[in-house]
Amino acid sequence: MQFFYLPERKRKIIPLFYKKRTIELNDLLKSYSNIPLSEQLAIRVPGKEKKDFVFSLNADFDSAITEKVPVIYIDRSETTGSPLTVKEYIKNESFINIRIALCYKQTSYLLSESKLKIDRCFFQNNFSFLRQVLPEICIQAVNKFAASSGKLKGIPSTDRSPVNQSAVIIYFTLILCYFLIPFRLLKKVVDFFCFWEQWHIGVVGDNIDKIMSSDFKIDHVKWLPSVGRHRFVADPFGIKHNNRLYIFAELWDSLNPLGKIVWGDESDSFSKWNTLFDHETHLSYPFLISEKGKIFCIPESAEQGDFTLYTSEKFPDKWNKGKVLFKDFRMADASLLKWENKYWLFAAKANGDAAYELYIWFSDKINGKWKAHPMNPVKRDITSARPAGPPFIFKNTIYRPAQDCADSYGNRIVVNRVSVLSETNFLEEFAGVVKGPGKSPYPDGMHTFSVIDDVIVVDAKRKVFALFNSRILSYKIKRVSKKIIEF
């Protein structure tokens, strides 16, 4: 057993290796100290003489439990509780759970829990991804315990522990998985070149009371007129102004595959979309919020890395040039909420379709100085972190729609119930899944559930056979060629 002090946090790539069917992290804390590493490390917080806790890298639940010294251990598991195996990469599940727990006096306290997406076919991508992500998760958990000075109050407890699998079952599963790899790769190629995901927008006919009482079931959706075979509209936000319904959304065209922000209104049944913002970079998710007679819009511009607030000067077609509130963070689907006289900004860290980390900022004014939440990222979960529309308040409780991208981008929408939201803490729990009408022309996924006052709009997708659609096929070939050149 080795001892060392926990200094300031540093970001470095930590190597991993595969051992005993689980991913071990014997070099996890190498960036902190040059001491020889062992299976367990006793860690001290600077300025203290006593031993504070042990960091266990072997995920042995039984040996981690101790009466004298708190032990932090890593538990890599499926939702069933069994150890992480190769089958999680390429069969059934496309995500894994990584829990970091503090074991003390026969009780396991949960410090951090992350649900991460894992590619089912490409091992190298998986290890590269985990090499980047796991050390940061572990370091955040260590810092959380160190900051608490050993106080366990407020840290949730968990009674889950790893469950062993027989070697015969594991080896049989591995052989089956390796056999299926070529077929899964072929399916990926066929899906990419033969099908296209076309998104579209609908106005929900049910009110929020009915939806909430029916466990987030939507029965009536009026789909807007089609925008053509080569285009789609998505990320809708609806708002009523002077008793007229307006919808702001992203319009994407295969001829110029950069999203732009458009708006339409019910006067012409949304048959015409007017361009609002058209930049040289991709724009989407035009979040709307009304405050003291003013209407604000925050379109997503992850490529620029800016958080830009636009104010309407003459609604709906005249807006100011926009005020950059802060830079250098690539936000995905930034969503605002006013709660207890503060503004709260929820956003995922843009990382392609796998935006699995939720960040929060808060401010006293919508155009004031924004502060980062001390728990950032407050959540790591591919199934419920990325925003899917504005948080809304129902019966004095905050509900936050989020995307479940475990199987595919825009697979479905889950709703989280926020139980704690403060400048120092955040906690939410699963409340339900948004379910669309039984017979829908867009049955293959949803990724926006927008509730603003009494206006509810959604978007949904369908897979369209596009092998002989020259414009779509040309776009996909250009996309593949660009990736090959970059590689």
Q: What is the pLDDT of residues 175-229, one digit of tens each?
A: 666 677 777 778 888 888 899 999 999 999 999 999 999 999 999 999 999 999 8
Residue owning tokens 């939440």 = 373
Both tokens of residue 122? 């490409």
The pLDDT assigned to 29 comes to 42
Residues sharing a CB contact under 8 Å with residue 211, sequence separation 6 or more, in sequence order: 204, 217, 218, 456
The structural domains of the chain, with segments of one domain joined by +, span: 2-165, 196-486
Over its C-alpha atoms, the chain yields an Rg (Å, rounded) of: 24
d(CA 259, CA 473): 18
Give the residues of the chain that fall short of pLDDT 70: 1-96, 102-109, 117-136, 138-178, 352-354, 487
Locate the DSSP E strands across 278-322. 284-291, 294-300, 307-314, 318-319
Give pTM, 2 decimals.
0.80
Beta strand 379-381 with 107-117 is parallel
CATH hierarchy code of domain 2-165: 3.40.50
What is the CATH topology of the domain spanning 196-486?
A: Tachylectin-2; Chain A (2.115.10)
Q: Please state, as a whole number, how many other Cβ atoms lie within 10 Å of the Cβ of residue 446.
A: 28
The pLDDT assigned to 47 comes to 46
The pLDDT assigned to 347 comes to 95
Beta strand 323-326 with 307-314 is antiparallel
Average pLDDT value over all residues in the chain = 77
> How far from 365 is each of 194, 201, 325, 400, CA to CA, in Å?
48, 32, 11, 21
Both tokens of residue 115? 């649900």
SS3 annotation, 444-464? CCEEEEEEECCEEEEEEEEEE
The pLDDT assigned to 31 comes to 36
The pLDDT assigned to 184 comes to 74
Q: Residue 420: beta bridge partners?
A: 427
pLDDT digits (tens, 9 = 90+) for 74-119: 655 544 444 445 555 555 555 667 777 766 666 666 777 777 766 6
Q: Which amino acid is at 249?
A: A
The pLDDT assigned to 355 comes to 78
Question: What percent of the chain has a predicted confidence (pLDDT) above 90?
Answer: 41
**Smallest Cα–Cα separation from 420: which of 165, 30, 138, 156?**
156
